[in-house]
Amino acid sequence: MPGSAARSCAGCPVLERAQALDAADPLAAYRDRFSLPEGLIYLDGNSLGALPKATPARLAEVVGGEWGEGLIRSWNDADWIGMPQRIGGKIAPLIGAQPHEVIAADSTSVNLFKLIAAALQMRTGRDAILSEPGNFPTDLYMIAGLEAQGLATLRLAHREKLAEALDGDVALLLLTHVHYKTGALHDMAALTRAAHDAGALVLWDLSHSAGALPVDLNGCGADFAVGCGYKYLCGGPGAPAFAFVAERHHVALAQPLTGWMGHAAPFAFTDDYAPAPGMDRLLCGTPPILGLAALEVGADLINEIGVARLYAKSQALSEFFRKCLRDFGVALDIASPAHQAQRGSQLSFRHANAYAVCQALIARGVIGDFRAPDILRLGFAPAYLRFADMAEAARHLMQVLATGEWQAERFQTRSAVT
């Protein structure tokens, strides 16, 4: 059948099973709340979440009404000034935090910098920041930047050796909860406990967790967290990120980007800096209102669906996708944990020509992504994907591999953003 396979799976048993699962899916109707191009199978919602249909109208209102008509009055009248806290409060229930422990601000990278530096100051006499090799680059680069300033020492240990590497020099353990490349999940409770036992603080990067699986920061006793607004939260390209600080640290926390918006009284215009109480001191400059407005629509929608239901569906989607691959006879090396409880909302596969395979899939309207050097990464954003998409994507992957069409010249050339 490979090679002569039809362009569509209509009538094939795998698709019929998928359609039955879609018919029984309690989240099926939410797909219509997103704007997705006809015929496209989007398996990259873990890189840039899809556009909620409500976002353009909300942005038009903020631009035309609040900005165009309200002008500067909208800082108060439309509560622009309260947006970082308000949206932080909406992200809080997704990550096991109290509303006043989360703020939407800056990028994930900048929030990492603020919180790593804050942790160093809370653990005087210790300067090691422990992470794992292969963590998301920006996490490691932000530590390296502080190291170049003479403020930190980067220490790396493989995931099974992290507990051993926690000694009296470690100020902070910084890990990404769901690994961006493999989807492997860390045991947040156990690692947080191990770090605390060693006298260190813990900062979790939730970029691939928030909105995809339940996270219990306070239940695990986490100190700090950061995460991304444009992945599963569907806040749009470059959406503001979020930061979490456990309430018990709110008084002691000092971060180095002491901009005026984090001041206790920004509009008193005094010469001396005094940090605002609580999470407000995490702010630096003027909040990006348009980006926050789009993020709020995404966070509201993800909250409405509910993270427990999203997680259940993402697991069902990824397990069904694997079953489809088996049924189509596709044998690919899995780079993600095979057991669903040990991974987030994605499946990654190893292939020596993963880049070209990914490009060939994109040419067929199946958007996944490539992660160097050899990973084909498929994200299963549960808010808008169907089981039928799984069946079709698996069939396309089977055909791309069976026909060898990925070997075509046009699939070999790399562009700047992959």
Ligand X SMILES: *Cc1c(COP(=O)(O)O)cnc(C)c1O
Which residues bind to ligand X, rule: CB under 6 A?
107-109, 136, 138-139, 176, 180, 205, 207-208, 228, 241
Q: Dump strand ranges (E) for 210-334.
A: 224-227, 241-245, 333-334
Q: Specify the residue, 228 or 324, whose C-beta has the smaller distance to ligand X.
A: 228
230 catalytic residue (yes or no): yes
| Residue 281 beta carbon to ligand X: minimum distance, rounded to whole angstroms | 20
- How far apart, in whole angstroms, are the C-alpha atoms of residue 64 and residue 189? 46
Question: How many helices (H) does the chain have, and how many strands (E)?
Answer: 12, 15
The rounded distance, in Å, linking the Cα atoms of 371 and 148 is 27
Nearest-approach distance from CB 342 to ligand X, in angstroms? 17
Which residues partner with 378 through β-bridges?
A: 347
Q: Which residue, 351 or 377, has its beta carbon nearer to ligand X?
A: 377
Closest CB to ligand X among residues 228, 400: 228
**Residue in the structure block whose two tokens are 């603080």:** 201
* Distance of alpha carbon 118 from alpha carbon 65, whole angstroms: 39
Residue 219 vs 237, nearer CB to ligand X: 237
Q: Which of 371, 377, 386, 395 is catalytic?
A: 377
Q: Where are the alpha helices (DSSP H) in 135-225?
A: 137-148, 162-165, 188-197
The answer to whether 231 is a known catalytic residue is yes
Query: Least separation, in Å, of the C-beta of 146 and ligand X?
Result: 15
CB of 180 to ligand X, least distance (A): 4
Query: Residue 200 is which amino acid?
Result: A
3-class SS shares of the chain: helix, strand, coil, % to 5: 45, 15, 40
Q: Which of 44, 127, 139, 205 is an active site residue?
A: 205
Place of tokens 């998301």: 136
Query: Strand pairing of 333-334 and 346-350?
Result: antiparallel
Q: Which lies closer to ligand X via its Cβ, residue 15 or residue 228? A: 228
Catalytic residue among 181, 231, 281, 343: 231
**Residue 205 annotated in active site:** yes
- Residue in 30, 34, 113, 136 annotated catalytic: 136
CA–centroid distance for 93 within its chain: 16
**Catalytic pick from 34, 230, 232, 311?**
230
CB of 138 to ligand X, least distance (A): 5
- Catalytic site positions: 136, 205, 230-231, 377
